[in-house]
Amino acid sequence: MKNSILILLLLFSINTFSQEIKKCITIKEEKLPNYKVKVIKTNNCVEPKEITVAVYITTEWEKKKRKQKKRKNDK
């Protein structure tokens, strides 16, 4: 009986901790004239918040996104 209660409590605690995982990095894209894209990258896991702004040509940004997606799928 004690073992089953301990197992249930353990499963419940693992479930609650797994739901608390948050995304640290958010990426926002803004279209600019002349085939450019403004990328705002925000890292919320560090204190103070780290914000990076970059401007890419549209084709260059598409290549970067494909590489990131491929790298993410390979993991």
Answer whether residue 56 is part of any domain. yes
- Say which residue, 14 or 71, is predicted with more confidence: 71
Positive or negative: CA dihedral 21, 27, 28, 31: negative
Distance, CA of 58 to CA of 36 (rounded, Å):
5
Query: Which amino acid belongs to residue 26?
Result: T
Q: Give the H/E segment covering residue 52.
A: strand 50-57
Distance, CA of 54 to CA of 33 (rounded, Å):
15
What would the pLDDT profile of 17-74 be if each residue is shown by its tens digit?
A: 555 556 788 899 999 999 999 999 999 888 898 999 999 999 999 999 899 888 877 7
Number of domains in the chain: 1
Answer whether residue 8 is part of any domain. no
- Residue-level pLDDT at 53: 96
How much is the pTM? Answer: 0.61
Answer whether residue 66 is part of any domain. no
Answer whether residue 4 is part of any domain. no
- Residue-level pLDDT at 41: 93
Answer whether residue 67 is part of any domain. no
Average of per-residue pLDDT across 2-17: 69
